[in-house]
Structure 1
Amino acid sequence: MANQDVVFYPDPDQDSISSDVAEFNGILMTTQIPTRFDGTLELGDITVQSECTLQALKVALEGAGSSMDRVMHLTIYLTDMTDRAAFNEVYKRFFAKPWPVRAAVGVAALAVEGMRVEVVAMAAKA
């Protein structure tokens, strides 16, 4: 992109068609899915997928100079809204008061069959 005031942090996956994080004036935006440390997709139960997704968020934010305690807003996409309680249990291990502003949205499907959660976060750069 030609916008010199917007910084894009590349996704570690060479084949990705999405940046890992984008920054404008110290505000970071990122979308994360349940990716394991080795870059493979986790398609287990909602608890494991939630842990992988939030861990991927943590790694992406830290790589861009921020942290989980700088997250201002989180949008959570779930393919089954009954998974919300399990996601929230994992969420409470990654976040603390004051809680980020958040929304949980039920969707019919995500990009990969079996993927149950995806998050979009906005955070302040440290």
Structure 2
Amino acid sequence: MTNQDIQFTPDADPESISSDVAAFGGVLMSTQVPVRADGSLELGDIEAQSTCTLQALKNALEGAGSSMDRVLHLTIYLTDMADRAAFNEVYKRFFKKPWPVRAAVGVAALAVEGMRVEVTAMAAGPSKD
């Protein structure tokens, strides 16, 4: 069975088992971790990791023809909920009012030791304007 109404944009990392963006019915889904432009992980403080994560999200959405101002929902996974305030400061540099619907979830661990943040976003696809 094929799903011709669903489109996946592969992650740039050939070893990845996840797509950067999945699109369906004009809605895009993307999950991002704190990865630098060169593909290496940022495992520094929460501000550095949050910046890399949201920049990776921005790059993935723009590559799919969307943008951060078209994000509808964001789920933020944090290994320490005390990092939420610092994440929010970075978040405000990437998003403006009206704010996307969002949820912050505390988790015991993420895929790589030292990774403190991961985000999953749902965004509207390219504008028809």
Q: Fold conserved (TM > 0.5)?
A: yes
List structure 1 segments (4+ residues) > 6 angstroms apart after TM superposition. none
How many residue pairs get matched?
Answer: 126
Deviation at 1:117, TM superposition (A): 0.1
Point out where structure 2 has 5 or more consecutive residues left out of the alignment: none
The answer as to 2:113 corresponding to 1:97 is: no
Q: What code does the residue aligned with 1:124 have?
A: A
Q: What code does the residue aligned with 1:86 have?
A: A
Report the TM-score, using the length of structure 1 for normalisation.
Answer: 0.98
Identity %: 80
Deviation at 1:2, TM superposition (A): 2.1
1:118 alignment counterpart: 118
Deviation at 1:71, TM superposition (A): 0.1
Aligned-CA RMSD value = 0.8
Q: What code does the residue aligned with 2:14 have?
A: Q
1:24 alignment counterpart: 24
Q: Deviation per CA, 1:71-119: give whole Å up to 9, x if none.
A: 0000000000000000000000000000000000000000000000000
Report the TM-score, using the length of structure 2 for normalisation.
Answer: 0.96
Point out where structure 1 has 5 or more consecutive residues left out of the alignment: none
1:42 alignment counterpart: 42
